[in-house]
Amino acid sequence: MKYIIKNICCIGAGYVGGPTMAVIASHCPNIQINVIDINQERINAWNDDNLKNLPIFEPGLDALIKKCRDINLHFSCEIEKHIANADMIFISVNTPTKAKGLGAGQAIDLKWIDATARQISKYARGKTIVVEKSTLPVKTARTIKEILGSKNSDRENYQDKYSEFVVLSNPEFLSEGTAINNLQNPDRVLIGGEDLKAINSLAEIYSNWIEKEKIITTNLWSSELSKLTANAFLAQRISSINSISALCEATGADINEVSLAIGSDRRIGKEFLKSGPGFGGSCFKKDILNLIYLCNHYGLREVSDYWQKVLDLNEWQTQRISKIVVEKLFGTISGKKIAILGFAFKANTNDTRESPAINICKELLDEGGMISIYDPKVNVNQIKSELGAEKYDFSNNLDGSWRFAETIIDASHNADAIIIVTEWDEFNNIDWNTISKIMRHPAWLFDTRSFKNSYEASDYGINVWMLGNGLKEKIER
Ligand code: NAD
Ligand code: UGA
């Protein structure tokens, strides 16, 4: 038993809404999909003829957009029309941490979810399945149901209409940079709900390309909580390995060797054991903060303290990078040039939300450094929005200013130090011979992603500091 789904509307054309709907559209040619957003600029970018101008960069996304756009995948700001026509509506709007008011700094700000539910309540017609795609606190489905079910004045303007709603939870587990592959070949699809017919209808869509065994169905609250828990567990592994990276530096052990050794145990597993400058991205921090808020709400203080430590360790890991840089550069970086390689929070994305590069740069700017930033996919305006435009441009300011570099070479000219922050592939192929010649000596390389090739820099007279290791220890063995 299932409902027939011919029209899907996705509210929110962001990192989740865009790629997810592109993949569904490519596998379900008989379903018309409208992705809608309040941000006209973003919608224009999704509709840009030049696929290089899509609002987000994800490997493989451009090919899907080329295949489906204007055929069964459409991007627009026509919210009323597309909600009204939809049999199924995905909510993929942003759910950031609350900045002020009750629960500020921890709880999720549900204002976009609230607004979306009200739009659906106002415009939907007939039987409509509402799918939570956004990551939400446990029990949000109840709030959405209440808003959808209430008789508000907006709905009374549409008294002729009949509308009935079912709410499902279908959290998204994609990672940025590998989103298309994750959506094409997910480890699992999770659907939480109470209405079997609606669950079957959503499962049927996914079964066009995903094996039935991978589609897990649960109750609503298990589904909502599983998403927060998955992110908390992933982040916890990173904080665990990062904590050991510091111990490796102190003892002469090598974090990559430790990761390999422990990850070979199937019970531990190899994934998510790469040490780095701390996890970034829009979700790990906010989702753990939300988990902490929920635990406190239910009086589970010990549990919230446990998860708080995962965040504390992450912050400490990022902070210690800039401290080490200042220490190695004789205690001052005032007026010194530092090249930052990578500004995105991870490779293969142009997303900079919560990127460790932001705090590393801010701390170095506070110390008076002159920073040249190069990232293969992040543009200058994005960096301005994170670091502030007032410190932009070397020529106006001496100490504590930054500039945008077009290439690695451009960033490295006269630099006293280079810091690798993001694990872009091209940083593993740097020609250290050439770079050494254009740097100011004594020159340093600080590699927070421990690329194998970085050790070569020392052959050309560059001092190398490697997170979770030390070149000195490596040479002595
Ligand atoms: P995003 O900020 O990139 O996109 C959200 C979009 O929703 C924005 O374009 C915004 O303008 C739009 N929007 C907000 N309110 C709206 C409204 N009332 N009507 C129409 N459009 C509206 O966010 P994202 O990264 O796509 O994340 C969306 C959700 O998915 C979040 O809950 C996030 O936690 C979750 N999630 C994100 C990822 C990820 O990798 N980014 C992965 C899994 C889950
Ligand atoms: C993460 C989860 O992996 C997704 O499953 C989830 O859907 C998503 O959050 C979400 O809810 O938004 P994402 O943030 O895109 O995905 O990227 P990750 O690959 O998880 O990386 C997050 C951060 O951890 C990055 O800064 C990355 O550099 C860092 N990381 C990751 C490490 O330092 N070491 C690792 O071994 C893995």
Is a pLDDT exceeding 80 seen at residue 154?
A: no
Least confident of 137-151, 156-170, 188-202, 352-366: 156-170
Give the pLDDT of residue 56.
92
pLDDT tens track for 49-103:
999 999 999 999 999 999 999 999 999 999 999 999 999 999 999 999 999 999 9
> Is residue 22 within 8 Å of 15, Cβ to Cβ?
no
Cα–Cα distance measured from residue 10 to residue 33, given in angstroms and rounded to the nearest whole number:
7
Looking at all shown ligands, the one closest to residue 280's CA atom is 2
Give the pLDDT of residue 394.
74
Q: Which atom of ligand 1 is nearest to the CA of 176?
A: 40
CA of 123 to the centre of ligand 2 (A): 36
Question: Residue 391: in which H helix or E strand, if any?
Answer: none
| Angle, alpha carbons 88-93-98 (nearest 5°) | 140
Q: Which residues in the chain are classed under CATH 3.40.50.720? A: 7-218, 314-472
Cα–Cα distance measured from residue 68 to residue 197, given in angstroms and rounded to the nearest whole number:
28
Looking at all shown ligands, the one closest to residue 274's CA atom is 2
3-state secondary structure 309-358: HHHHHHHHHHHHHHHHHHHHCCCCCCCCEEEEECCCCCCCCCCCCCCHHH
pLDDT tens track for 163-213:
799 999 999 999 999 999 999 999 999 999 999 999 999 999 999 999 999
| Residue indicated by tokens 């079912």 | 166
Least confident of 93-107, 285-299, 385-399: 385-399
Which residue's alpha carbon is at the smallest distance from atom 15 of ligand 1?
112
Q: What is the mean pLDDT of residues 114-133?
A: 95
Please identify every residue annotated as catalytic: 283
Return mean pLDDT, the chain: 94
Q: What is the mean pLDDT of residues 149-172?
A: 73
What are the φ/ψ torsions at residue 85 (nearest 5 degrees)?
-85, -10
CA of 417 to the centre of ligand 2 (A): 27
Is a pLDDT exceeding 50 seen at residue 475?
A: no
Cα–Cα distance measured from residue 257 to residue 278, given in angstroms and rounded to the nearest whole number:
19
What are the φ/ψ torsions at residue 148 (nearest 5 degrees)?
-65, -35
Is a pLDDT exceeding 70 seen at residue 474?
A: no
Give the pLDDT of residue 399.
86
Looking at all shown ligands, the one closest to residue 346's CA atom is 2
CA of 93 to the centre of ligand 1 (A): 4
Residues within 6 Å of ligand 1 by CB: 11-17, 36-39, 42, 92-95, 112, 115-116, 119, 134-135, 172, 174, 176, 282-283
Looking at domain 7-218, its CATH class is alpha beta
- Best substitution site from 121, 147, 283 to test ligand 1's pocket, by max atoms within 8 Å of Cβ? 283
Q: Which two tokens stand for residue 264?
A: 């070979």
Least confident of 277-291, 438-452, 462-476: 462-476
Indicate the pTM of the whole model: 0.95
Is a pLDDT exceeding 50 seen at residue 345?
A: yes
In 10 A of CB 304, how many CB atoms? 20
Q: In what order do the strands lie in the sheet with 189-192?
A: 73-76, 32-36, 7-11, 88-91, 126-132, 163-169, 189-192, 215-218
Which residue's alpha carbon is at the smallest distance from atom 34 of ligand 1?
135
pLDDT tens track for 217-258:
999 999 999 999 999 999 999 999 999 999 999 999 999 999
CATH fold of 314-472: Rossmann fold (3.40.50)
Q: What is the mean pLDDT of residues 136-143?
A: 93
Which residue's alpha carbon is at the smallest distance from atom 42 of ligand 1?
174
Question: Residue 144: in which H helix or E strand, if any?
Answer: helix 140-149
Half-sphere exposure (Cβ direction) of 76: Cα atoms closer than 13 Å: 13
Cα–Cα distance measured from residue 244 to residue 380, given in angstroms and rounded to the nearest whole number:
35
- Best substitution site from 15, 279, 345 to test ligand 2's pocket, by max atoms within 8 Å of Cβ? 279
Q: What is the mean pLDDT of residues 150-162?
A: 56
Cα–Cα distance measured from residue 88 to residue 174, given in angstroms and rounded to the nearest whole number:
21
Residue 434 amino acid letter: T
Give the pLDDT of residue 314.
98
Environment class of 125 (CB within 10 Å of its CB; exposed 0-12, middle 13-18, buried 19+): middle
Tell me the CA distances in angstroms from 284 to 265, 353, 354, 363, one per residue in order. Answer: 25, 11, 9, 22
Tell me the CA distances in angstroms from 84 to 7, 13, 147, 165, 169, one per residue in order. Answer: 10, 18, 17, 13, 21
Rg, Å, the chain Cα set: 24
> Is residue 74 within 8 Å of 31, Cβ to Cβ?
no
- Best substitution site from 93, 234, 345 to test ligand 1's pocket, by max atoms within 8 Å of Cβ? 93
Tell me the CA distances in angstroms from 227 to 52, 137, 191, 295, one per residue in order. Answer: 32, 9, 11, 15
pLDDT tier for residue 476 given thresholds of 50, 70 and 90: very low
Cα–Cα distance measured from residue 241 to residue 204, given in angstroms and rounded to the nearest whole number:
39
